[in-house]
Amino acid sequence: MSETDQPEPDAPAGGTDVAADLFGTWEIGEIEYEDPSTERYITVTPVAHTMGRHASKQFQKSEISIVERFINRLMQTEENTGKKQQTLNLVREAFEIVHERTDENPIQVLVTAVENAAPREETVRLKYGGISVPKAVDVAPQRRVDQALLFLAQGVQNDSFKTPTSAEEAIANQLVGAANYDVGTYAISQKEEKERVAAAAR
């Protein structure tokens, strides 16, 4: 066979395009966003592990897939630090559970959960003389997404640590509850609490 007859090394078998699906299962092309303020900070890609290629640049974290950012946030506990492959497998299994419960694309459920759990207001402390006074402020869209991921991860930790609930079940519970705006879900309750405190400090 001559060099001109050899197939391209990156060409897919059969000459067809490989579908860019997350985990090879979930489509990413038809994700809907209800909150325009956070849409540019919720990136959906078929890559669930970028090997930290954006770690050196502070504000490029929003270019990482929201699924990977959720996985990274789940690892930020003493027991789970660095267990990327294990956490990725748990999220993959949790997505299957979410799909069975809702019959929806679990990536869409995650995006909706992040949008619902993102607080719009919070409080800061201002000092006037020697007195510290709380003041309500609007939350920047990027911080809203960061806070939502934090609340979801904390909810998973609370539900699964030293309880009969498995980690994948806890992840599915938090995602479905937050997507449905269930105030009994940890992420939604934390968002409501932040906004309630901010409303009192206006």
Across 62-184, where does the E strand assignment appear? 121-128, 131-138
Q: What is the pTM of this model?
A: 0.83
**What is the pLDDT, as a whole number, of residue 57?**
66
Place of tokens 């050899």: 6
**What is the pLDDT, as a whole number, of residue 6?**
46
**Superfamily assignment of 22-200 in CATH?**
Ribosomal protein S7/S5 (1.10.455.10)
List of the chain residues with pLDDT < 50: 1-4, 6-19
Q: How many whole angstroms separate alpha carbon 47 and alpha carbon 44?
A: 9
Q: How many whole angstroms separate alpha carbon 183 and alpha carbon 199?
A: 18
129, two tokens: 């003389």
**What is the pLDDT, as a whole number, of residue 7?**
44
Encoded amino acid at 62, one letter: S
* Residue count of the chain: 202
Map out the domains of the chain as residue ranges.
Answer: 22-200
**What is the pLDDT, as a whole number, of residue 18?**
40
